[in-house]
Amino acid sequence: MAVRHERVAVRQERAVRTRQAIVRAAASVFDEYGFEAATVAEILSRASVTKGAMYFHFASKEELARGVLAEQTLHVAVPESGSKAQELVDLTMLVAHGMLHDPILRAGTRLALDQGAVDFSDANPFGEWGDICAQLLAEAQERGEVLPHVNPKKTGDFIVGCFTGLQAVSRVTSDRQDLGHRISVMWNHVLPSIVPASMLTWIETGEERIGKVAAAAEAAEAAEASEAASDE
Amino acid sequence: MAVRHERVAVRQERAVRTRQAIVRAAASVFDEYGFEAATVAEILSRASVTKGAMYFHFASKEELARGVLAEQTLHVAVPESGSKAQELVDLTMLVAHGMLHDPILRAGTRLALDQGAVDFSDANPFGEWGDICAQLLAEAQERGEVLPHVNPKKTGDFIVGCFTGLQAVSRVTSDRQDLGHRISVMWNHVLPSIVPASMLTWIETGEERIGKVAAAAEAAEAAEASEAASDE
């Protein structure tokens, strides 16, 4: 019995890994070509899986795109920093980093914003990102790090909309090379209306913060992975 | 001689009108279908012009799209209001109005943001919009309506990026029905870091401002047109 359970677990783990490889490959193809021009053949080749394996997980190219969109908020874990307001800033820094390096985030924004023949607006990630910002703002507000009149959901949705535009314009005008600078300028303009004045000099909003936060997030992920491995 | 000059003038005016009809028709088709799926036949039908007339002005569908992009900032004239800071807010209100009603602005944002097979990023209107905002900010700063540390170009570009994202997310999540609300929320968050505190209660930033400014702009345009007619 124990052996059979173990075999099932191994098979499930393999299925999860295959699925993840397919989603990442699909994301890299959607990021490069957009939904319309992307081909299943190219996705299979990048994922190194068979057509059968793909169709076991996803029935169509459209389902693949929805799979990519469903994962938008799953891969961004903000390191704890002692200040929830700083963690809100760090969240935007991590997503900015992902917009340069993570095919899942890059493809997600393209799928959500392109007005193509297939409409993915029902699967857009903006509401979920707004909720994540709102959660951080509410926690910050409880600690007195955010001004009492701030409505967390309204401000969270505003930050998501603003960020989305800055990254879109940055992509068009500089292939996202100036995104870090633009996010830093965003916080210069927005933070004074969100946090008490006495906090303004304590929160790091410079674009060099991106490298710091990304390194901390990677270190945390590596620590977690090695912990999981030693549990096996 | 006088008669011939008049005939040339009439012909030139007719050419300008035909060109404008073609650009407007192209914009409405690009807005509805996107660049790729738009057809020249549909544009000709909406403009009620012949293929020959179109090719006299534009050599290809791509040139038509570039014609639409080149006109992004030409149709938005902010009415004078006694305050340059208010006029900056009003500019975003007028563009928000245009995003709902003006095919040229709607098509422009779609052409500039869609990542299609043809790349229009070299014709993007974001830099020009940023310059227009920077000009208003600089004039406001000279009058003491904008804080001394504000860098007009940096803040202008920030406002354009932020606006672009809010309208993109608003399109995806509500077909732009909540755009007025989102722009109002933007100014709640951004204005305190741009203008002196004593001005904050004087500048109208509520979404009802959109209707007011749009009506004033239309009235100004009508007055100008009737003046031009009486000059003839």
For chain B, give every domain's residue range: 2-69, 84-231
CA distance A88 to B202: 31
Q: Is A166's CB within 8 Å of B161's CB?
A: yes
The mean pLDDT of B25-44, rounded to a whole number, is 95
Q: Is A164's CB within 8 Å of B169's CB?
A: yes
Q: Is B161's CB within 8 Å of A155's CB?
A: no
3-class DSSP state for residue A209?
helix
Whether the per-residue pLDDT at B1 is higher than 60: the answer is no
By C-alpha distance, which of B82, B29, B87, B91 is closest to B58? B29
By C-alpha distance, which of A220, A157, A182, A222 is closest to B130? A182
What is the CATH superfamily name and number for domain A2-70? Homeodomain-like (1.10.10.60)
Q: Give the tens place of pLDDT for each residue, B189-224.
A: 999 999 999 999 999 999 999 999 999 999 988 888
Confidence (pLDDT) at A231 = 66
B169–chain A Cβ distance below 8 A for any pair: yes
Confidence (pLDDT) at A3 = 62
Q: Measure in Å the smallest separation between the Cα of B193 and chain A Cα atoms.
A: 6
Q: Is B185's CB within 8 Å of A113's CB?
A: no
What's at A24, amino acid-wise? R
The alpha carbon of residue B209 and the mean position of all alpha carbons in its chain are separated, in whole angstroms, by 17
Confidence (pLDDT) at B24 = 96
A176–chain B Cβ distance below 8 A for any pair: no
Beta strands in chain A (DSSP E): none
The alpha carbon of residue B70 and the mean position of all alpha carbons in its chain are separated, in whole angstroms, by 10
B117 or B139, greater pLDDT: B139
Q: Is A164's CB within 8 Å of B163's CB?
A: no
Buried b (16+ CB within 10 A) or exposed e, A71-93: bbeeebebbeeebbbbbbbbbbb
3-class DSSP state for residue A232?
coil
What is the 3-class SS of B165-223, one letter each residue?
HHHHHHHHHHCCCCHHHHHHHHHHHHHHHCCCHHHCCCCCCCCCHHHHHHHHHHHHHHH
Residue in chain B lying closest to A116 (CA): B34
What's at A169, amino acid-wise? V
Range B84-231 has CATH code 3.40.50: no
Q: Give the tens place of pLDDT for each residue, B112-128.
A: 998 877 889 899 999 99
CA distance A42 to A29: 7
Mean of the per-residue pLDDT values for chain B? 93
Domains B2-69 and B84-231 share a fold: no
The first and second tokens of residue B23, run together, are 């650009």
User: How far is CA B17 from each of CA A48, B23, B24, B40, B223, rounded to the nearest angstrom?
Assistant: 57, 10, 11, 19, 20
Confidence (pLDDT) at A11 = 81
The alpha carbon of residue A44 and the mean position of all alpha carbons in its chain are separated, in whole angstroms, by 23
Q: Tell me if A137 sits within 8 A of A88, measured CB to CB.
A: yes
B176–chain A Cβ distance below 8 A for any pair: no
Per-position pLDDT tens, chain A of length 232:
566 677 788 888 888 899 999 999 999 999 999 999 999 999 999 999 999 999 999 999 999 999 999 999 998 899 999 999 999 999 999 999 999 999 999 999 999 998 877 889 899 999 999 999 999 999 999 999 999 999 999 999 999 999 999 999 999 999 999 999 999 999 999 999 999 999 999 999 999 999 999 999 999 888 888 887 776 5
Whether the per-residue pLDDT at B229 is higher than 90: the answer is no
Q: Can you say whether the dihedral through the CA atoms of A41, A45, A47, A50 is positive or negative?
A: positive
Q: Is A182's CB within 8 Å of B155's CB?
A: no
Q: Measure in Å the smallest separation between the Cα of A20 and chain B Cα atoms.
A: 25
Q: Can you say whether the dihedral through the CA atoms of A100, B152, A160, A94 is positive or negative?
A: positive
ipTM above 0.90, yes or no: yes
Residue in chain B lying closest to A107 (CA): B115
Considering the four listed CATH numbers 1.10.490.20, 3.40.50.620, 3.40.50.1100, 1.10.10.60, the one that applies to the domain covering B2-69 is 1.10.10.60
Q: Give the tens place of pLDDT for each residue, B38-62.
A: 999 999 999 999 999 999 999 999 9
Residue A4: how many other CB atoms lie within 10 Å: 8
B186–chain A Cβ distance below 8 A for any pair: yes
Count CB pairs under 8 A between chains A and B. Answer: 118
Question: Which of B37, B113, B186 lies nearest to residue A117, judging by beta carbons?
Answer: B37
The first and second tokens of residue A132, run together, are 């994540």
Whether the per-residue pLDDT at B150 is higher than 70: the answer is yes
